[in-house]
Structure 1
Amino acid sequence: MSSVYFTSPSSTAELKGSERAWLGGLVNDIATGALSLSTFGHAEQMLGFVDPAHYLYLDPSEPKRPGWQAAWASSYETSFRVDMGRAPLVQFQGRSLSTSTLALNTALILGNDPVKLGARIHAQCELNCWVDGPDRAWMAGIIDHGLEIGVYRRGAEEDPQGWEQVAELLRSRGDEPVVLYDSIGSEGFPSAYLGDWMPAWPEGVPQTHEGWELLTEDQRRERDERSDAWYDLSAQEQWDISLPALRAKTGHGLQIRPDNWRRFHFGHGLSVLDLVAHDAEDRIAAKLGVPA
């Protein structure tokens, strides 16, 4: 798992990739625990939300083997964690419901502040989630609490996970934002691709390898030259280009802040608790804005 970097115009701290993997596992453990497939009839209920094209679907008109729930529940929990089937594991009225989003929202609902922050870091570091200067000490306090109660791991003295260094960075000043990025899945921060440094991508051309091949030779040359020129800019110039663009992403929920801490949710807003509720269909329909 890739490392997570907390960076400001003044300094950077690294959180080990093994700790990010721990956070992702914690999110999934909370969600699968809340499913309680071996009790309360939840296996039968969750079966009703499995897409008929998924390999875990069981035809309700066909008899099931005695004790089928145990083996099915084990396979379901594995699929819930990876959700790699050709058909969605969880669907409602033909609409796919991402299990990763369900797991993240479950962690936000059931978790304490360190769990909530862990879920945000795990899910949003690749998207450059960030904390503003005045809120840095607040985030550092959550990290302190997470270390105290064991949600976050310190690591060995000679090989720390990095939480203490992150908290120290956050407390070092309160007049600069701190932006997160990961070592593999993101462009880093600042980035030539966040802001107006790169030429606008041609309308109607997908931003993929195939789309790159559709660009003219002049368009490709211009983009290559601008990308190379990015590294001739000073660090401050790069921040001046990328930070306003990041701040402008107000609808993406990337700013981690205390004033919407308890209201924030991912995507559709549904959690495992909605799926196992006695009025599950009504709850799901209400959050998706569709008839029950």
Structure 2
Amino acid sequence: MSRVYFTSPSGTSELKGSERAWLGSLVNDIATGALALSSHGNADQVLRFVDPAHYLYLEPDAPKRPGWQAPWAHSYETAFRVGMGGAPLVQFQGRELSTFTLALNTALKLGNDPIKLGARIHAQCELNCWVDGPDRAWLADIIDHGLEIGVYRRGQEDDPQGWEDVAAFLRSRDDEPVVLYDSIGSEGFPNAHTGDWMPAWPEGIPQTHEGWELMSEEQRQERDERSDAWYDLSDAEQWAISLPALRAKKGHGLQIRPDNWRRFHFGHGLSVLDLVAHDAEERIAARLGTRVAT
């Protein structure tokens, strides 16, 4: 699993990849535990929201063999974690409800502050989530609490996970933001694509590999040359380009801050608690802005 880096204009600290994987497992464990498919007989309830094209779909009124819930629940939990099945596992009125988003929101609703931070790191480090200078000590306090109660792991003395160093780094000053990125899924920070360094993407061409092939040779060359020139800039120049653009992404929820800590949610805001509620359809419809079919 990729390492998570906490970087500022004056330094960087890192969290081991195994701890990133641990945070992801915690998020999924909380969600599948809250589903309670075996212990509370919620299998019939969540089955209502399985896409008919998914291999786990069963006709609601079809006869089922005795004891079907346990093996079905095990398969459902596996599919929930890894997103397998060739069709949406969870849907409502034909609209897919991402299991990743459901799991993250479940962790936010049921978890303490270290769990909430773990969910934010797991989901948003690749997107360059960040904390502003005055909030760095607040974030470090959450890390200390996570270590104290065992949600975050210290590791071995000669092979620490990195939490203590990250907390110390956060507390080292309060006049610079700290931006997160991971070692595999992101470009790092700052980078040539956050800010106005790169030429605007040509209008009408999708920002995909196929779109790259649709560009003219001159357009591709311009982008290549501009990308290469990024590395000739000083660190200060790179930060001056990328940081204002990151700060401007106010609608993306990337800033980790105390004033919206309790009300923050991912995407549609739904959790697995909504799936197993007695009024599940009403809850989901209200969040999606639709109506319950009558």
Ranges of 4+ aligned residues in structure 1 off by more than 2 Å: none
State the distance in 2 between where 1:159 and 1:235 align: 30
Structure 1 equivalent of residue 267 of structure 2 = 267
Aligned residue pairs, count: 292
Long gaps (5+) in structure 2: none
3-state DSSP of counterpart to 2:84: coil
Structure 2 equivalent of residue 163 of structure 1 = 163
Q: Counterparts in 2 of 1:136-151, with a 5 A limit? A: 136-151=136-151
State the distance in 2 between where 1:35 and 1:256 align: 28
Structure 2 equivalent of residue 66 of structure 1 = 66
Structure 1 equivalent of residue 212 of structure 2 = 212
Matched, 1:24 2:56: no
Q: Structure 1-normalised TM-score? A: 0.99
Structure 2 equivalent of residue 200 of structure 1 = 200
Q: Structure 2-normalised TM-score? A: 0.98
Task: Return 98-107 or 84-93, whichever deviates more.
Answer: 84-93
Matched, 1:182 2:156: no
State the distance in 2 between where 1:41 and 1:166 align: 42
Structure 1 equivalent of residue 291 of structure 2 = 291
State the distance in 2 between where 1:262 and 1:61 align: 41
3-state DSSP of counterpart to 1:13: strand
State the distance in 2 between where 1:39 and 1:289 align: 32
Long gaps (5+) in structure 1: none
Superposed CA offset, 1:159-192 (max 9, x none): 1101011001100000000000000101110000
Structure 1 equivalent of residue 112 of structure 2 = 112
State the distance in 2 between where 1:84 and 1:208 align: 24
3-state DSSP of counterpart to 1:148: helix
State the distance in 2 between where 1:115 and 1:290 align: 31
Identity among equivalent positions (%) equals 84
Matched, 1:77 2:65: no
Task: Return 189-198 or 204-213, whichever deviates more.
Answer: 204-213
3-state DSSP of counterpart to 2:146: helix
State the distance in 2 between where 1:272 and 1:124 align: 20
3-state DSSP of counterpart to 2:65: coil
Structure 2 equivalent of residue 233 of structure 1 = 233
State the distance in 2 between where 1:204 and 1:277 align: 44
* CA deviation after TM superposition for structure 1 residue 41, in Å: 2.7
* CA deviation after TM superposition for structure 1 residue 11, in Å: 0.4
Structure 1 equivalent of residue 100 of structure 2 = 100
* CA deviation after TM superposition for structure 1 residue 48, in Å: 0.6
State the distance in 2 between where 1:98 and 1:254 align: 19
State the distance in 2 between where 1:114 and 1:39 align: 27
State the distance in 2 between where 1:84 and 1:134 align: 42
